[in-house]
Amino acid sequence: MQTLGKAIKPSVSKVIVIGGGIAGLTLARACLDANIEVEVYEKRQLDAMLSGPGGIFIQRNAIRVYQLLYLGKIYQRFYAQGGTIFKGAFSSKDGTPLYISSPKMADEEDLGVCLSRGELQQILYEALPSEIVHTDKTFEKFEETEDGVRVYFQDGSTTDGDILVGADGLYSRVRASLSGQQRLEEPVYSGMCCWRGLFNGSSLPLNKEYSWMELWGQGNRFGYFDVGRGQFSFYAFSNSEQGGNDDSVGGALNALNLIFSDYAEPVPSILKVLENESIYRDDIFDRQPLGNSWGKGRATLIGDAAHPVQPNLGQGGCMAIEDAFELVKLLANAASPDQIALLLRQFESSRSQRVTRVFTTSRQVGQLGQTNSAIGCLLRNWIYKLTPTWLADLQFKWLFDYQPSWKE
Q: Does residue 286 bind ligand FAD (CB under 6 A)?
A: no
Q: Which is nearer to ligand FAD, 52 or 217 (CB)?
A: 52
Collapsing DSSP to helix, strand or coil, 232 comes out as strand
The secondary structure of residue 186, as a DSSP letter, is P
**Residue nearer to ligand FAD on the CB measure, 3 or 360:** 360
Strand partners, 235: 196, 223
Q: How far is the CB of 166 from ligand FAD (least distance, A)?
A: 9
Site for ligand FAD contains 22 (CB under 6 A): yes
Find the binder of ligand FAD among 34, 38, 41, 77 (CB under 6 A).
Answer: 41
H helix intervals, 127-266: 173-178, 252-260
H-type helices in 85-138, by residue range?
Answer: 117-126
Q: How far is the CB of 7 from ligand FAD (least distance, A)?
A: 30
The Cα–Cα gap between 352 and 358 comes to 10
> Would you count residue 19 as binding ligand FAD (CB under 6 A)?
yes
**140-169: contacts with ligand FAD (CB under 6 A):** 167-169
> Which H/E stretch holds residue 283?
strand 280-286
Among 88, 161, 228, 311, binds ligand FAD (CB under 6 A): 311
**Strand, helix or coil for residue 169:** coil
Does residue number 324 form part of the binding site for ligand FAD (CB under 6 A)? no
β-pairing, 210-216 with 220-228?
Answer: antiparallel
Answer yes or no whether residue 184 interacts with ligand FAD by CB under 6 A.
Answer: no
Binding mask 227-256 for ligand FAD (x = CB under 6 A): --------x---------------------
Q: Bridge-partner residues for 17, per DSSP?
A: 40, 165
The residue (of 41 and 232) whose beta carbon lies closer to ligand FAD is 41
CB 53 within 8 A of CB 197: yes
Q: Is 138 buried (19+), middle (13-18) or exposed (0-12) by CB count in 10 A? A: middle
Binding residues vs ligand FAD (CB under 6 A): 18-24, 41-44, 49, 56-57, 138-139, 167-170, 173, 194, 196, 235, 284, 303-305, 311, 314-318, 320
